[in-house]
């Protein structure tokens, strides 16, 4: 592992602000039967260095949400509302330089006005994002005396295709469930990782370095450095005899090794954010646990934030700092992982936990949630869980359940929770 990479702290612009802040995200697919609302108003944040889980049953919209974050929703599907704000000052500067027409300055005053117009119902970030006009996606909040941006974010949801490509190759990467679909069968595994390293270095991560120094570093990388780095990465994910195996083709790797290679490739560009969609689901339990362990230690080594998507609560319990529970296109509860398991609040989360056998207590009775996940077309009631909910009342079908604070860093979107005075 490279020492120089960890020596320099990552800049995220300001203090404890989230690296990624998703607000009001809504993604739809027009179909012959009507509009599938795969993601309806999702809010989500990931802080630097955090592993955040997104958990929910099959069909709840997890993968579509992940695709929405990366600008990868397949047409005719479309993100129709919301903002996906990546707050990384290096990215802001890089994209501001490359796409000057995409820059909008959002001063504190402008943001305050935008918030007032929305009756204060939106976050500061959402308000700042709303100031971007057509074609604008680099939101600068503050500049230094030389006019260089010192805080701001990129709204990925509005970013142009060339900007997205720049982000995907470098600052954000993704690992999918089936690595065979993501690895190129005609290139050796090592060559593919080396390619990612080269591509990334071309894009130029060290934007703040003087040009001369940058050329020197990039030049060195091209002469075999990328290949060396590929082998280092394969070693980091514990591929045995990495140097010899680097020349293997993907089909010569076992399922577990392919998954490791995918993770190696995704981390080889030292992304700020790794989105892992069911990265271990296809693997047997022992290998699954090993790979998750590795993911956690790699996260520490590379200082990467991770969004981990899974339907497996045990994976969440072992791996995540915080968790978001998703049901029928909506996030219904957010909490630190231990809190979620010790003190679940949303009736859906409670049902989900009660319906999942625990490894620690396999004899405990398991109680399935009655009913089925609704079809995501034109859901006519406000809380999507209401028809299956043992606690629902008439109003639950009629009134949108906004998030309520139910504990420290713990929120549930349920009218029957929260402070007594506004509880149903």
Residues engaged in binding Ni ion (CB under 5 A): 62-63
59 binds ligand ATP (CB under 6 A): yes
**The 3-state secondary structure of 16-45, one letter per residue:** CCCCEEEEEEEEEEEECCEEEEEEEEEEEE
Q: How many C-beta atoms surround the C-beta of residue 347 within 10 A?
A: 25
Query: What is the distance between the alpha carbons of residues 44 and 61, in angstroms, rounded to a whole number?
Result: 14
26 binds ligand ATP (CB under 6 A): no
Question: Of ligand ATP, Ni ion, none, which one sits near residue 223, judging by CB under 5 to 8 A according to partner kind?
Answer: none
Give ∠ CA 64-65-70 in degrees, rounded to 5: 95
Q: How far apart are CB 27 and ligand ATP at their closest, in Å?
A: 8
Instruction: Kindly tell me which of 35 and 206 has the beta carbon lying closer to ligand ATP.
Output: 35
Instruction: Kindly tell me which of 43 and 277 has the beta carbon lying closer to Ni ion.
Output: 277
On whether the CB atoms of residues 193 and 234 are closer than 8 A, the answer is yes
Structure-block tokens of residue 289: 């646990």
Structure-block tokens of residue 360: 């620690």
Only one of the segments 52-60, 105-113, 117-125, 224-232 lies at the binding site for ligand ATP (rule: CB under 6 A); that segment is 52-60
Pairing of strands 273-277, 305-310: parallel
* Residues recorded for the chain: 424
Q: Across the strands, what pairs with 143?
A: 149
Instruction: Kindly tell me which of 129 and 326 has the beta carbon lying closer to Ni ion.
Output: 326
Instruction: Kindly tell me which of 33 and 421 has the beta carbon lying closer to ligand ATP.
Output: 33
87 binds ligand ATP (CB under 6 A): no
Instruction: Kindly tell me which of 39 and 231 has the beta carbon lying closer to ligand ATP.
Output: 39
Max CA-CA distance within the chain? 68
Q: How far apart are CB 331 and Ni ion at their closest, in Å?
A: 15
Calculate the dihedral angle through the C-alpha atoms of 193, 199, 200, 206, rounding to the nearest 10 degrees: 140
Q: How far apart are CB 57 and ligand ATP at their closest, in Å?
A: 7
Q: How far apart are CB 421 and ligand ATP at their closest, in Å?
A: 35
Instruction: Kindly tell me which of 104 and 307 has the beta carbon lying closer to ligand ATP.
Output: 307
Question: Of Ni ion, ligand ATP, none, which one sits near residue 53, judging by CB under 5 to 8 A according to partner kind?
Answer: none
Query: What is the distance between the alpha carbons of residues 150 and 387, in angstroms, rounded to a whole number?
Result: 48
On whether the CB atoms of residues 20 and 84 are closer than 8 A, the answer is yes
Q: What is the DSSP letter of 361?
A: B
Q: How far apart are CB 277 and Ni ion at their closest, in Å?
A: 6
Q: How far apart are CB 42 and ligand ATP at their closest, in Å?
A: 11
74 binds ligand ATP (CB under 6 A): yes
60 binds ligand ATP (CB under 6 A): yes
Q: How far apart are CB 18 and ligand ATP at their closest, in Å?
A: 22
Only one of the segments 59-67, 79-87, 185-193, 231-239 lies at the binding site for ligand ATP (rule: CB under 6 A); that segment is 59-67
On whether the CB atoms of residues 193 and 242 are closer than 8 A, the answer is no
Only one of the segments 29-37, 117-125, 203-211, 414-422 lies at the binding site for ligand ATP (rule: CB under 6 A); that segment is 29-37
Q: How far apart are CB 364 and ligand ATP at their closest, in Å?
A: 24
Binder of ligand ATP out of 48, 53, 77, 418 (CB under 6 A): 77
210-234 burial, b for 16+ CB within 10 Å, e for fewer?
eeeebeeebeebeeebbbebbbbbb
Bond from prior residue into 323 cis (ω within 30 degrees of 0) = no
Instruction: Kindly tell me which of 68 and 305 has the beta carbon lying closer to ligand ATP.
Output: 68
Only one of the segments 28-36, 249-257, 261-269, 299-307 lies at the binding site for ligand ATP (rule: CB under 6 A); that segment is 28-36
374-406 burial, b for 16+ CB within 10 Å, e for fewer?
bebeebeeebbbbebbeebeeebeeeebebbeb
406's enclosing H/E stretch is: strand 404-407
Only one of the segments 43-51, 58-66, 147-155, 210-218 lies at the binding site for ligand ATP (rule: CB under 6 A); that segment is 58-66
Only one of the segments 57-65, 85-93, 156-164, 218-226 lies at the binding site for ligand ATP (rule: CB under 6 A); that segment is 57-65
Interacting residues toward ligand ATP by CB under 6 A: 29, 31, 36, 38, 56, 58-64, 74, 77, 311, 376
């Amino acid at each position: 592992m490279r020492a120089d990479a960890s020596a320099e702290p990552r800049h995220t612009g300001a203090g404890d602000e989230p690296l990624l802040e998703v607000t009001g995200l809504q993604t739809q697919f027009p179909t012959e039967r009507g509009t599938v609302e795969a993601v309806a108003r999702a809010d989500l944040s990931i802080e630097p260095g955090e592993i955040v889980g997104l958990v929910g049953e099959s069909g709840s919209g997890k993968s579509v949400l992940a695709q929405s974050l990366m600008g990868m929703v397949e047409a005719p599907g479309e993100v129709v509302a919301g903002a996906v704000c990546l707050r990384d000052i290096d990215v802001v500067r890089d994209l501001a330089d490359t796409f000057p027409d995409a820059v909008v300055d959002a001063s504190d005053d402008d943001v305050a006005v935008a918030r007032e117009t929305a009756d204060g119902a939106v976050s500061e970030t959402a308000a700042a994002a709303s100031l971007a006009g057509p074609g604008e996606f680099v939101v600068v909040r503050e500049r230094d005396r030389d006019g260089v941006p010192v805080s701001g974010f990129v709204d990925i949801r509005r970013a142009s295709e060339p900007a997205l490509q720049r982000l995907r190759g470098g600052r954000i990467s993704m690992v999918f469930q089936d690595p065979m679909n993501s690895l190129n069968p005609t290139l050796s595994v090592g060559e593919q990782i080396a390619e990612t390293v080269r591509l990334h270095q071309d894009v130029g991560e060290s934007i703040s370095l003087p040009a001369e120094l940058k050329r020197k570093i990039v030049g060195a990388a091209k002469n075999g450095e990328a290949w060396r780095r590929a082998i280092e990465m394969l070693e980091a994910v514990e591929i045995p005899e990495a140097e010899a195996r680097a020349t293997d083709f993907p089909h010569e790797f076992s399922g577990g090794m392919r998954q490791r290679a995918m993770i190696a490739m995704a981390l080889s560009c030292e992304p700020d954010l790794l989105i892992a969609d069911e990265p271990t689901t296809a693997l047997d339990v022992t290998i699954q646990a090993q790979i998750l362990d590795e993911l956690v230690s790699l996260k520490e080594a590379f200082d990467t934030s991770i969004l981990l998507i899974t339907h497996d609560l045990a994976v969440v319990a072992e791996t995540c700092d915080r968790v978001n529970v998703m049901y029928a296109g909506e996030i219904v509860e957010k909490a630190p992982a231990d809190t979620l398991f010790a003190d679940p609040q949303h009736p859906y989360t409670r049902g989900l936990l009660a319906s999942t056998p625990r490894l620690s207590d396999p004899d405990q009775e398991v109680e399935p949630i009655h009913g089925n996940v609704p079809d995501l077309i034109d859901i006519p009631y406000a809380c999507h869980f209401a028809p299956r909910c043992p606690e629902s009342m008439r109003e639950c079908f009629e009134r949108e359940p906004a998030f309520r604070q139910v504990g420290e860093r713990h929120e549930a979107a349920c009218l029957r929770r929260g402070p007594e005075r506004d509880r149903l």
